[in-house]
Amino acid sequence: MNLYEFEGKEILNKYGLIIPRGLVVRRGSDFAQAYIDLGVKDAVVKAQVLSGKRGKNNAIKFCSSAQETALACEELFSIQVRNQYVAAVRIEEKLEIAEEHYLSITYDTNKKQPVLVYSQQGGMDIEDVSDNQIEKYWADVRQEKIESTIPGAQELWRCFLDSDCRLAEINPLVKTKDGRWVAVDAKIALDEDAVFRHEDWKNLEARTMMGRKPTDREIAVKKIDEGANYYRGTAGKYIEMDGDIAVLFSGGGASIANMDALLNVGLKPANYTEYSGNPPREKVYQLAKIVLSKPGLRGLWIAGGVANFTDISETFQGIIDALDEIKPEYPIVVRRAGPKEEDGMRLMRACANRNNLKMKLFGKETPMSNTAKIMAEMLNT
């Protein structure tokens, strides 16, 4: 889960890192009064989105009066930043900066351990910094402290571990002219698999990977993987889109390839959904029912690779439960294989017969991308 800057700064501050004095405003707030309440002459007004590169996308403004601040907030709330919804605006003091550095901790997937990354050349152009200006220090999650004298490193390490972060980044970490080290920005990604250790995460406002407010369906799907059975497979991934072909995909890589295949035949997905890890029938039923509840659908594509341990019969039964209730009249294309695939296909075929569904079934002998073409053909006949 990616956090907004203001959320990340609150966490950093808990671990002793200094952040600029500031406050958060929402749509409908009194922006001018917020500037007055902050009590500074020069302010920085920053759009709160989940993407980076705000400075290069005109999403950070510098203001010196209540009127300027109000106009800046109104402008930021009226735009999208890299196609992302502006959830809030943070107004904070403008600092007198002497130096801009970069500091982050993330996981090195090759070495299977955390790595601290530091550069004395931080700021907007960090991507252009050469490798010889970047320092890396690998750490052990069993360590209370990290072996580094870099300013803020110990505090960021405790934040990274205690908060179950996938990424904790400060860019820039600035040294002010009066000698303070301040986290001017914060980019934090939390490991959602650790939610059982963090009751307070439930207080975070809902968000989507698309950087906009979640729809009712997206909120409902997210709840599927919560509770006592959260570990039994995943069925809580759903992003609502503007197309009209509902999809129920299995497998992360296969699902992305299938989205491309659908677009390549001129069709648009109504959603992105991926379930995997052998989820139980009830989870898949809840997911399928929500996916099929979107108005204006013209087709349903159920596709996935050859499963290793997912019970095809069990997961299909969840989809069948939803089809028995909804009885869609549009074409349905199914491509799946794996354990108990014959039982699953038999159950799906029986569902199609008793509900008079327009359904075609395919196994591993048919490439997944080919079944996207079959969906297009069924819609055009």
Domain spans, the chain: 21-93, 97-197, 214-380
pLDDT of residue 152: 97
Three-state secondary structure readout of 286-315:
HHHHHHCCCCCCCEEEEEEEECCCCCHHHH
Q: Which residues of the chain have pLDDT under 70?
A: 210, 228-231
Q: Do 118 and 101 form a contact (C-beta atoms < 8 A)?
A: yes
> Residues 214-265: pLDDT tens digits?
899 998 998 888 876 666 778 778 999 999 999 999 987 889 999 999 999 9
Residue 284: C-alpha distances to residues 16, 221, 243 (Å)? 44, 10, 22
Decide yes or no: CATH 3.30.1490.20 for domain 21-93: yes
Which DSSP state fits 132?
Answer: G
Note the Cα 131 to chain centre separation in Å: 29
CATH number given to 214-380: 3.40.50.261
Which of 11, 22, 15, 23 is closest to 201 using CA atoms?
11
Decide yes or no: CATH 3.30.470.20 for domain 97-197: yes
Which of 92, 114, 130 is closest to 163 using CA atoms?
114
State the pairing for strand pair 359-362/332-337.
parallel
